[in-house]
Structure 1
Amino acid sequence: MPVLARHGALAALWFLIVATPLAGAAERPNVLLIYIDDLRPQTADYGHEQMVTPNFSRFAANGVRFENAYCQVPTCGASRASLMTGLYPTRERFPDFLTWAENDAPNAKTLPQRFREAGYTTVSNGKVFHHKNDTAARSWSEAPWRPEIGGRTFYNDATAEWMKTNQETRKLPGGKVVKKVPMWEAGEVDPLDTSDGKIAAKTMADLERFAKNDKPFFIACGFAKPHMPFFSPEDTYKTYPLKQIALAEHRRMPQPQPAGLRGVREQNAYVPMTPDFSREVTYNTDEYHRRMRQGYYASVSHADDLLGRVMDKLEATGLAENTVVVILGDHGWLLGEHDQWAKNTLLHDALRTALWMSGPGVPQGAAVPSYVEFVDLHPTLCELADIAIAAGEVHGESFVATLKDPNAPHRDHAYTRFKPGDSITSADYQYVRYRDPRGRKSALLIDRKNDPLGMTNHAGEPAYAEIEADLSAKLDAKIAKATAK
């Protein structure tokens, strides 16, 4: 049976949860945190009707979806370190994807560490921290686990044959030179035999194991897709015919372009060969855009399928009634907007990310309009488990109130930083201040209400001077808080 048609009897029973108090209950809730690398709000329940994501939709129908969730750093390692410690980034702390929380914040307790110290069994499957062993000794009850194959593992004989003659290379951060792999592959592979499939299987086995004892658990499960390269089972590719894929509405940078805003280069680490390996697709042509979107969409559907399997297992084991489930991307992602791909930029689509929660007492089918920051997840989950955090230990603020009442206010803006820039985003504006190593300054001010595509930069315009001053003051307050600890 095709992957995307699999529903099963268990799926119909998803999350028939008995409502209990969100915090302070006699029985502490389990936690299942599912990271999905590079997932932006690109699912059907977020309004993208072309997406085939039935399991995300069913999860959203049985929990809450956050409409304005923002990462603190738009790159994986730094974003995860920030969330796990509950600390804002600075120029020195959590600067890039190679971040080690152990090095940048050695005295900060991690989220799984707090749960472990509170008597939970804590487990890491797949990519949770960027580095497998980051804070491992104090965070996890068991050694962090990853499969023997990774996100760049290809599955088809045709890909293997092409790799024999491929001469294009890339340099890894440590200086090692390796062959580039192709950007796309519709894999002739069972979904559970992929790298992420093995992570899902390990997580399902852990759920069965923990269902046999009464000790609470904190499982973090990290899927790699839809991170590039877009290697996904062939059924998922067939779901998105190339000719039916629309292009981004806007394909130029905001004008005038601030000096600090540079293009993203991550996509250059892969070779854009057509699936039959007959030719290389020219960068940023319409065909390139459609193939990139097709690959991303297929990979999201692959993640959706695996999510469904894990959730079915949670229900089958009887654990769903007392498990808080968090599903999130680690940052946003650009799908051709501004002719850019991936993250590693302060353009808006790289900052807003996907976030859902479900569990005992959480409303069903609700959307949270208030702004939340990823650092807020750390104190929120601790409050749900009745784990105390001393004042000043984290920068995040618990949003348990929004889990009781999705319309309750939390934040009205969110802070993100990356490399030379710091950003504030609200419903009406996004403001970014850049300062390069030589001290040269530039800025980006987007009027989101009147220019939702982010085409025009109003920084420095007299008509926006009062707004810019207010946003700049808010940015100063965030930076001061971040640098105070």
Structure 2
Amino acid sequence: MNFRNINIAFLLLSILILGSCKTNKKSVKLTNSKPKNILFIAVDDLKPLLNAYGESEMYTPNIDRLAKMGTIFTNAHVQQAVCGPSRASVMTGMYPDHTKVWDLETNFRESAPELMSMPEYLITQGYETSATGKIYHHGPVSKGHDYKSWSIPHTEPNYFDEKYGNPVLAYQNPENKRLLTSYINEAKEKGLNNKQQREYAFEKLKPSTESADVSDQSYTTGLYPLEGIKKIDAILNTGKPFFVGVGFIRPHLPFIAPKKYWDLYKREDIKLAEFQELSEGTPKIAYHSFGELRSYSDIDNNARIGKKLPEDKQRELIHGYMASISYVDAQIGKLLDALEERNILKETVIVLWGDHGYHLGDHTEWNKHSNFEQATRIPFMFAGPGVAKNTKVDKPVELLDLFPTVFDLVGVKSPQLDGKSLTPLLDTDPNTNIDPQYAVSQFRRHKSKMGYSIRTNRYRYTEWHDEGYRSYTPYEEGRIIGRELYDYQVDPLETRNLVDDSDYASEAKKLKAQLKDFLTK
């Protein structure tokens, strides 16, 4: 994929837009007569473990409600299954090889300074933009959670329920708070700075789950809808259309939720991953040793690829993940209620997305960080004007398609992007349609190795390339160190790599050609 011409075009477009914005801000007008609002809901580490996606054991009435209000994509995939690259991609509408963000440390403003973010572009189109919570990855973004994206500053709420007090390092359980506070004080006495104090405390105590009998507003998750509603009200008072982002950190580890959400599920009824083995014939590079989970003090740090966690710990973790989802679901309901109470549902486009999927013991894996189905597949849904109601689309689509799709729905002309508009799949007009053939994901291993994966309606084909290969460098067969092929029609759990199976030779050749075409175009 040659990005050089795209880079130059996008840079020129950005200069023209920003230049006109600086010299004649008041003259900017929307392309449609009645501008539409955008409520942008991001949920960290959320896989499609939702009732609306057929997971009937889940209690997610508000996400179900949103699904009935619009259209959900059942075969949607992220560009890279880790927070930083995924969020940089969706916010710019560009693949990771274009943003140059493949890790948690890189800021796209430095690696690809010619790019504009979605809300930044909307400012030039007369929108007021603001956000709360996790929209970009917290670590590398510039001051103000990428301050260029917001006409009204991004904020992190801290007005916790006074009955329970502020959490300590995200925890509210009284014993956890007491111990963590004591460890922080020890670190202070040693002269350690704030970051070092946190690290010192977590070396001694870092639970992977917490169920405390507290209110929703005792954790930050319960404050995000309140803060988002404040921003909506402030912008409504200006008479301008809004882009308001609300980014929920849960169900990211640690799996924390008030006790009432844990009580929705019986641990003894929780199903463990059906396939907890390494896939037959799959190269080792496809796996990782879930270091993110192993960093927690109640997890065996000696666990590695191929080793299953004890079943009671698996059930506890899955229970916490499910409770966290239901907790977030309740907060999403507050946002939907607010739009309804203000009578602006009909003029607001709502999009909900997860930044990647999540392993919960399948392949003995936990967290994300792979090109397997459980890591790349996400919930992805739209509602509002121009969107068909109570509809499911099973075509393979990509998260970066969000940028041009939202712009189409609100009537704003989109810049040149890697993604495509999905509006022909969202409307009720049978005369408009597109037929995407595959979604692309990638994952970097050990800096020099990159795995590229395409997911069709039925198959996933993956190639692992070495020697620092990227899609903008020459494609060489000699760099390929591993290949994978899975058939979800006959093997939905990816138990066997079929790439060398003679019965799949023709399909493997076809998929390889498709991936190579994508990588070299």
The amino acid of 1:429's aligned partner reads Y
Contact preservation (8 Å) 1:260, 1:443: no
Contact preservation (8 Å) 2:281, 2:496: yes
In structure 2, how many angstroms separate the alpha carbons of the residues matched to 1:310 and 1:448?
36
In structure 1, how many angstroms separate the alpha carbons of the residues matched to 2:310 and 2:298?
12
In structure 1, how many angstroms separate the alpha carbons of the residues matched to 2:178 and 2:387?
51
Deviates more, 1:263-272 or 1:23-32: 23-32
Sort the Cα spacing of 1:372 and 1:35 in 2 relative to 1 into closer, same or farther, 3 A.
same
Deviates more, 1:292-301 or 1:104-113: 104-113
User: 3-state SS of the aligned residue for 1:186?
Assistant: strand
Sort the Cα spacing of 1:339 and 1:195 in 2 relative to 1 into closer, same or farther, 3 A.
same
User: With structure 1 as the length reference, what TM-score do the two structures score?
Assistant: 0.86
Q: CA RMSD in A?
A: 2.7
1:369-428, Cα deviation, whole Å (9 max, x unpaired): 2221111111111122222234xx310011111111398434121000010211011122
CA shift for structure 1 position 455 = 0.2
The amino acid of 2:58's aligned partner reads M
Q: Which residue of 1 aligns with 2:92?
A: 85
**Number of aligned positions between the proteins:** 447
CA shift for structure 1 position 178 = 3.8
Is residue 424 from structure 1 mapped to residue 454 from structure 2 by the alignment? yes
Choose from 285, 292, 297 the match for 1:271.
297
Paired residues for 1:288-307 under 5 Å: 288-307=313-332
1:337-366, Cα deviation, whole Å (9 max, x unpaired): 111111011111101100111101322111
Q: Which residue of 2 aligns with 1:261?
A: 286
Q: Which residue of 1 aligns with 2:13?
A: none
Q: Which residue of 2 aligns with 1:179?
A: 201
Paired residues for 1:41-52 under 5 Å: 41-52=48-59
Q: Which residue of 2 aligns with 1:142?
A: 152
1:258-283, Cα deviation, whole Å (9 max, x unpaired): 13212232111212379xxxxxxx96
In structure 1, how many angstroms separate the alpha carbons of the residues matched to 2:363 and 2:146?
39
Paired residues for 1:358-369 under 5 Å: 358-369=383-394
Q: Which residue of 1 aligns with 2:190?
A: none
CA shift for structure 1 position 314 = 1.2
Q: Which residue of 1 aligns with 2:304?
A: none
Deviates more, 1:371-380 or 1:151-160: 151-160
CA shift for structure 1 position 147 = 3.2
In structure 2, how many angstroms separate the alpha carbons of the residues matched to 1:415 and 1:174?
39
Identity %, equivalent residues: 29
Sort the Cα spacing of 1:175 and 1:409 in 2 relative to 1 into closer, same or farther, 3 A.
farther
CA shift for structure 1 position 176 = 8.4
Runs of 4+ in 1 over 4 A off after TM superposition: 148-152, 164-167, 172-176, 437-440
Structure 1: unaligned runs, 5 residues or longer: 1-22, 275-281
Contact preservation (8 Å) 1:192, 1:201: no
Contact preservation (8 Å) 1:98, 1:130: no
The amino acid of 1:84's aligned partner reads M
User: With structure 2 as the length reference, what TM-score do the two structures score?
Assistant: 0.80
User: 3-state SS of the aligned residue for 2:392?
Assistant: strand
Sort the Cα spacing of 1:262 and 1:166 in 2 relative to 1 into closer, same or farther, 3 A.
farther
Q: From the CA coordinates, give the structure whose radius of gyration is larger.
A: 2
The amino acid of 2:142's aligned partner reads N
Paired residues for 1:81-480 under 5 Å: 81-90=88-97, 93-131=100-138, 133=142, 136-148=146-158, 152-163=169-180, 177-180=199-202, 181-263=206-288, 264-272=290-298, 284-390=309-415, 393-405=416-428, 408-419=433-444, 420-437=450-467, 439=479, 441-480=481-520
Deviates more, 1:135-144 or 1:112-121: 135-144
Structure 2: unaligned runs, 5 residues or longer: 1-29, 159-165, 188-193, 301-306, 445-449, 469-478
The amino acid of 1:231's aligned partner reads I
1:130-173, Cα deviation, whole Å (9 max, x unpaired): 13537734311022212347995000112124446889x9xx99
1:13-38, Cα deviation, whole Å (9 max, x unpaired): xxxxxxxxxx9742011001000100
Deviates more, 1:283-292 or 1:205-214: 205-214
Sort the Cα spacing of 1:373 and 1:386 in 2 relative to 1 into closer, same or farther, 3 A.
same
In structure 2, how many angstroms separate the alpha carbons of the residues matched to 1:416 and 1:52?
29
Sort the Cα spacing of 1:91 and 1:252 in 2 relative to 1 into closer, same or farther, 3 A.
farther
In structure 2, how many angstroms separate the alpha carbons of the residues matched to 1:104 and 1:214?
36
Report which of the two has the higher share of helix.
2
The amino acid of 1:428's aligned partner reads R
